[in-house]
Structure 1
Amino acid sequence: MSQSRTIMADPAWRPSTKAKLLWSVQAAMGWMVPFVALIVWTLVDAGHRGAQLVVFAAAVLLAGLSIGVVPLWRYAVHRWEVTDEAVYTRVGWLAVESRVAPISRVQTVDTERGPLERLLGLATVTVTTASSAGAVRISALDLPVAEQTVTRLTAIAAQHRGDAT
């Protein structure tokens, strides 16, 4: 008994090249609190210099990986594509998630821009669908690409005029 299986092709487009910088800055900001805590610990407790040095070395190593390596890895994995039939995304770095949202299930299309995204000229397109898996997010797009994507998705969804359920 043979079973046929369709393998989804990788989505065609990458996020903006500025995504790597965005993700690095976000990771660096996340490491600020642990490093401040380490500094306070060092200033308050002079009796554990050996332990402090080990913890500091481990934190520097992990911070270096999350700031320098993970954004590059994420960029290598992240892909997106919009066709007349569906929105495709692939995201992650350690665990990779591929999503397909049929156009007939699209309910809303939104653009989001946080402070760092605005500073870098980026935006995130969120496609809300009638799915228990939640919205499909296409992150770190150059603003003109995000605006074109929203316009295209809106036009395609209008042609399908389903009830998105």
Structure 2
Amino acid sequence: MGDSESGDADAGRGGTGTAHDRSQHRTEPGRGDGRDDTGVLRLRPPAHRVHRKAVAWWRTRILLVAAAAVAVLVVPAALLPDAARFWVLVPAAVLAVAGVAAAVGMPMWWYRVHRWEVTGDAVYTRTGALWQEWRVAPMSRIQTVDSERGPLEQVFGLATVTVTTASAKGALTIPGLDRDLAADLVHELTETTQATPGDAT
């Protein structure tokens, strides 16, 4: 399904729940640990969705970007002659309509695509939109785990967890998590990786 490099596997291009229920970000019974018959970690659909509030977060972000782009056109248009103003306001209107359409549709699609899961052996993620990226990072290859919250994420009570690995493919990100769940996940992954022998260099 894709390339495998430095312990991370990638393919394509591209849960909600209570914050302190640690069992919700572990593999459910019967799913297996993601290894094939030879014991090699393989790509598979992660189990958990991001938090439902991520839809509103993404939607607000799109609308703010669209509003800024429209304002760049509309504000100077007030200083133009009437004949020239029309040719500025038309693309502004197109941008506004496109922004609203994207804000309505894209976040729901992202919510369906973005998934994540943590097992005792690895972190699984699926992100993207038209071009999706599937990744699995073995615990032995994880270097650092961080949580960050931008201004909008703080408004919606969300956070993004970034897992840095010993791979040229770069870090794995899990956006749109409940902030308390993200804090728990960072703590758990840090403890697990510290206790896991490996060569995360």
TM-score (norm 1): 0.88
The residue correspondences of 1:13-28 to structure 2 (distance < 5 A) are 13-28=48-63
Which of 138, 158, 179 pairs up with 1:102?
138
Residue in structure 1 matched with residue 65 of structure 2 by the alignment: 30
SS in 2 for 1:160: coil
CA distance in 1, matches of 2:91, 2:157: 37
Q: In angstroms, what is the RMSD of aligned CA positions?
A: 1.8
Counterpart selection for 2:93 from 48, 52, 57: 57
Greater shift in the superposed pair: 49-58 or 113-122: 49-58
Q: CA-to-partner distance for each residue in 1:13-66, whole Å, 9 max, x for gaps?
A: 111101011111111121232111221243122213553453133212210122
- Please list, as runs of the form range in 1=range in 2, the aligned pairs for 1:82-121 lying within 5 A after superposition: 82-121=118-157
What is the CA-CA distance between 1:118 and the residue it aligns to? 1.5
Check whether the contact 2:153–2:159 (CA below 8 A) recurs between aligned residues.
Answer: yes
Listed as ranges, the gaps of 5+ residues in structure 2 are 1-40
User: Could you tell me how far apart the structure 1 residues matched to 2:101 and 2:76 are?
Assistant: 23
Q: 1:123 aligns with which of 144, 159, 162?
A: 159
The secondary structure found in structure 2 opposite 1:101 is strand
- State the alpha-carbon separation in 2 of the partners of residues 118 and 144 from structure 1: 12
Gapped runs of 5+ residues in structure 1? Answer: 1-5
Name the structure 2 match of 1:71. 107
1:157 corresponds to: 193
AA aligned opposite 1:147 = A
Give the secondary structure class of the aligned counterpart of 1:44.
coil
Contact 2:74 2:92 in 1 (8 A): no
Report the count of equivalent residues. 160
Cα separation, 2, equivalents of 1:57 and 1:119: 29
Which position in structure 1 is the counterpart of 2:9?
A: none
Bigger RCO (CA 8 Å, 6+ sep): 2
What displacement does 1:158 show? 2.1
CA distance in 1, matches of 2:92, 2:78: 13
In structure 1, the residue matched to 2:11 is none
Secondary structure at 1:110 match in 2: strand
